[in-house]
Amino acid sequence: MWKILFGLFGIISCTLSFAQVKVPTYTIKNCNLLSGYNGNSFTEFIPIKENTPLVIIGKWETAIYTVSYNECVYQIYSGNVVSDDWALFDKKMKEYVDSVETAKKDSIQEVELRKKYVEDSIQKARDLAVEIAHLAYIAKKDSLKNIADNLIKRVKSKYPIYIEYIRTSYPNSAGGVDLNVSIENTGDKTIKYITFIGYPINAVNDRCACEIRKYSTASPRGVGPILSGETASYSFENLWYNSTIVKYVPVSIKIQYMDNSFKSVSQSALKEMVNIKLKVDELVNN
């Protein structure tokens, strides 16, 4: 059932209703224009003559139409106006309502499309942000790796060996502690022997001694040959027996080459190599 448009279910004001559908008509008999609706019936009646021009602008649930007359809004029974005109109004009103529904559906569809476009744009922006962050991370890692590589290259060019690591093992069940070493020959000549001189310390940085052999400073020797550019690793087992050992302090390294010439690496040089290795590990793992 058609609802009356423009909220005309209460008292009808004497103001022209700007309806979306308007159909000119005229009365086919002497009749009354109705107003003053109180919820049950009309209380005011304005007589008009046959052939009085009107404009249909709305319809009630019953066969009552809303019309404009002299720029005021009234109601009139459908039987008092040309039937073709109120039938035309019904048709136009249906077309208008259908067009509103279509526009509404189109609008909803457009809103959904815009919503999807916004969501897709947000997702693309997020994906782009992730990609940029990833590229920045890679660029940072590459930059840090370049710095680390340059540090290693510099120290390798400065000394005849490069220490990959030099550290003690955890004490075994008998308190025996190994010394594990890995070095690279960065010089031009082949190494015949390499001797590592140093001592262990405990967790409070006090010097430790072997509880069986009674020495602290040890001088284990690794046997070559170690060609230029090659790496050699050694494990000197049970070099000390002391369960409190946690760290090795290198004092110097003595190198004997195949031509029986010698070179020594000082403690300060060893400390520089160890510190650079720690810095490189920090950069690479950052």
**The whole model's pTM is what?**
0.50
pLDDT score recorded for residue 163: 85
99-138 pLDDT, tens digit each: 777 777 777 788 788 888 888 878 877 777 787 777 666 6
Q: CA-to-CA distance for 164 and 148, rounded, in angstroms?
A: 14
pLDDT score recorded for residue 11: 34
Residue 197 has pLDDT above 90, yes or no: yes
Between 146 and 156, the higher pLDDT residue: 156
Count how many Cα atoms sit within 13 Å of the Cα of residue 208 in the half-sphere of its side chain: 25
Give kind and range of the element (H or E) at residue 85.
helix 83-158
pLDDT score recorded for residue 259: 92
Nearest to 82 by CA among 47, 60, 51, 46: 51
- % of the chain residues with pLDDT over 70: 86
pLDDT score recorded for residue 108: 79
Give the pair of three-digit tokens for residue 89. Answer: 């109004």
Sheet with 221-226, side-by-side order of all strands: 221-226, 191-201, 247-257, 262-265
Q: Which amino acid is at 249?
A: V
Cβ neighbours for 9, distance < 8 A, ≥ 6 positions apart: 37
29-50 pLDDT, tens digit each: 999 999 888 888 889 999 999 9
Give the pair of three-digit tokens for residue 107. Answer: 């609008």
Q: CA-to-CA distance for 67 and 48, rounded, in angstroms?
A: 13
